[in-house]
Structure 1
Amino acid sequence: MTIKAGNISRNFYGLGIPESANGLHTLGQTSDGRFTVNEQGVQRISATGDRKVEFVGWETHTLAHVRSKMGYPAYYPVEPVATEDPLKAVLMDLDGTTIRSEEFWIWIIELTTASLLGDSKFTLEDSDIPYVSGHSVSEHLSYCIRKYCPEGSLEAARSIYFEHSHREMDAIMRGRGRANAFTPCEGIKEFLQELKSSGIRIALVTSGLYEKAWPEILDGFKTLGLGDPTVFYDTIITAGFPLRSGTVGTLGELSPKPHPWLYSEACRVGLGVDFSERNRVVAIEDSAAGVCAARLAGFATYGIAGGNIIDSGAQSLCHRYVDGFESLIKDLRPRLPEA
């Protein structure tokens, strides 16, 4: 059975029907000046609450403009979503969805900014949170530099960031360091086990660099008692390795969430699920950047409470928004393959 999604409040072709369009802000023009309402056939323009992604709507199609503090924005077509049974694969976010770790990584950003300022008492403001979580390290640092230390350089900030993160991660792996830095989300073990027993393919998709994501995954799976994560998951994708002098890096800092590529590659290459079968795939996310990434990759996306989806104005982009894994599995259970 296929359930086709309609237009968001009859406004944007292909975005789907939300319970509410709250959070989206109406604009007269895109931030780059490329598109203006009532010109070139453009009927409407809106942005997520954090202004990270803008949607440009025509009568027959919609484009998403992913902005970049690094200077490399991109436009993507928005494909209509649908759900088709039985479910074939689930794409899982890591930070905040599988493992509670966002507070730790925000703390590392805070330490880095404090070091740049030479002020050990510096703290981030509550209003900063949507901009220092869910994106790439460089995007987070660029935001803090622009707001708090405009004379600082991204290169210096990255160097300091990795010094702090390596020190703290090493301490955690040695049994010391910040307490409860990586805590499995409530209900995640039972959720994953039910998916696995039903034959659902599971991918873990994170914007985190390998060196920060992998210790977190190992620590979380040790707590969960689910064995080797590389055996449990059908595929795991990270943002790769950082570009640093003396080492070989990979593409990753300019292409993570909210860009669609991590989700696209995990599903098409990692799981071998063709784009034509994307209606049998769902993504699970707690961040606005992740919701946009999965949605732009063409997948119906479940938002889960606890992250910045509501604060960032992205709830209306979710296929469903749930309060936890107990509610989520109840919603998905009718779509699981019959034994």
Structure 2
Amino acid sequence: MTTISTPSGSLDRADGGGLQAVLLDMDGTLVDTEDFWWRAEATLFAELGHPLDEADRAHVVGGPMTRVIDYLVERTGVELSQAELTVLINQRFVDLLADGVPLMPGAERLLNTLDAHGIPAALVSASHRHIIDLVLRSLGAEHFAFTVAGDEVARTKPHPDPYLLAAARLGAEPARCVVVEDAPTGVRAAEAAGCPVIAVPSVARIEPGPGRLVLSSLELVDLDLLRSLVTVRV
């Protein structure tokens, strides 16, 4: 997807209260795909003779795929390479996406709100490019200035690189970009980048902390709340 470069001055809106952009995770945050990933992983490993349980699910939520596979190999001892498992899990996940993917409650309203007020949004995911492009058919590519995929950065989440890259592409300051995440891995990435965070946990528990607001649903996120998280930090 084409990226844009926006001078930082154009993001300094008088009505923005310091908010320059919103950076959003995808899986489990905007779209209800975490269950799809889990089904792909759990059914594959069951067929390989290694049933997984809910404790494993908490470990694999939020990606990236390399970390997930490292954990599953260590946990099960399965004798397949990381490359082989990546292909098998991704293909099973793609098959599950064939009929589209449901949006999380409040996701469509949030994206429409950002559109209506001219607040730039970027999608920042640990998923690979071909997965993001599939999901965008349901989510709507028109809502985002650009997307950042996990296979397009040298270090993906939990490293700060994807969020730093997104802020830089927008010409924005990380401290003035609110990140919306669902998993501890993504929260760590956003906080390491210096961004205020709204966490809406999907599977793994996330505790409140400095610069981090934990909510039960995206339906609780509105523009006033997004702006307030930046104004208290600037």
Q: What does residue range 196-275 of structure 1 map to in structure 2 within 5 Å?
A: 196-221=115-140, 229=141, 231-240=142-151, 251=153, 255-269=155-169, 271-273=170-172
1:301-331 deviations in whole A, cap 9, x for unaligned?
A: 1111333243xxx543652111222322152
How well do the aligned residues superpose, as a CA RMSD in angstroms? Answer: 2.5
SS in 1 for 2:179: strand
Could you say if the C-alpha distance between residues 304 and 147 of structure 1 is closer, same or farther in structure 2, counting changes exceeding 3 Å? same
| Conserved 8 A contact 2:24-2:179 | yes
| Conserved 8 A contact 1:303-1:318 | no
1:91 aligns with one of 23, 33, 58:
23
| Conserved 8 A contact 1:291-1:318 | no
SS in 1 for 2:131: helix
2:86 aligns with one of 158, 161, 169:
158
SS in 2 for 1:257: coil
2:44 aligns with one of 95, 112, 130:
112
Distance 1:327 1:264 in 2: 26
SS in 2 for 1:182: coil
2:108 aligns with one of 184, 189, 202:
189
Query: Is 1:320 aligned to 2:213, yes or no?
Result: yes
Query: Is 1:283 aligned to 2:211, yes or no?
Result: no
SS in 2 for 1:316: coil
Q: Normalising to structure 2: TM-score of the pair?
A: 0.81
| Conserved 8 A contact 1:292-1:317 | no
2:46 corresponds to which letter in structure 1?
Answer: A
Structure having greater relative contact order (Cα 8 Å, sep ≥ 6) = 2
Q: Return the offset for 1:332.
A: 2.6
1:20-40 deviations in whole A, cap 9, x for unaligned?
A: xxxxxxxxxxxxxxxxxxxxx
Could you say if the C-alpha distance between residues 335 and 305 of structure 1 is closer, same or farther in structure 2, counting changes exceeding 3 Å? closer
1:128 aligns with one of 51, 56, 62:
56
Higher share in strand: 1
Could you say if the C-alpha distance between residues 200 and 292 of structure 1 is closer, same or farther in structure 2, counting changes exceeding 3 Å? same
Could you say if the C-alpha distance between residues 317 and 209 of structure 1 is closer, same or farther in structure 2, counting changes exceeding 3 Å? farther
SS in 2 for 1:143: helix
Q: Normalising to structure 1: TM-score of the pair?
A: 0.57
2:51 corresponds to which letter in structure 1?
Answer: T
Equivalent pairs: percent with the same residue? Answer: 24
Q: Return the offset for 1:142.
A: 1.4
Which residue number corresponds to residue 67 of structure 1?
A: none
The number of aligned residues is 215
Could you say if the C-alpha distance between residues 193 and 128 of structure 1 is closer, same or farther in structure 2, counting changes exceeding 3 Å? same
Could you say if the C-alpha distance between residues 131 and 335 of structure 1 is closer, same or farther in structure 2, counting changes exceeding 3 Å? closer
Q: Return the offset for 1:334.
A: 5.5
Distance 1:280 1:209 in 2: 26
Which residue number corresponds to residue 38 of structure 1?
A: none
Could you tell me which runs of 5 or more consecutive residues in structure 1 were left unpaired when the two chains were aligned: 1-83, 176-180, 222-228, 241-249
Could you tell me which runs of 5 or more consecutive residues in structure 2 were left unpaired when the two chains were aligned: 1-15
Could you say if the C-alpha distance between residues 189 and 326 of structure 1 is closer, same or farther in structure 2, counting changes exceeding 3 Å? same
Higher share in helix: 2
Which residue number corresponds to residue 11 of structure 2?
A: none
Q: What does residue range 6-155 of structure 1 map to in structure 2 within 5 Å?
A: 85-115=17-47, 117=48, 119=49, 122-155=50-83
SS in 1 for 2:137: helix
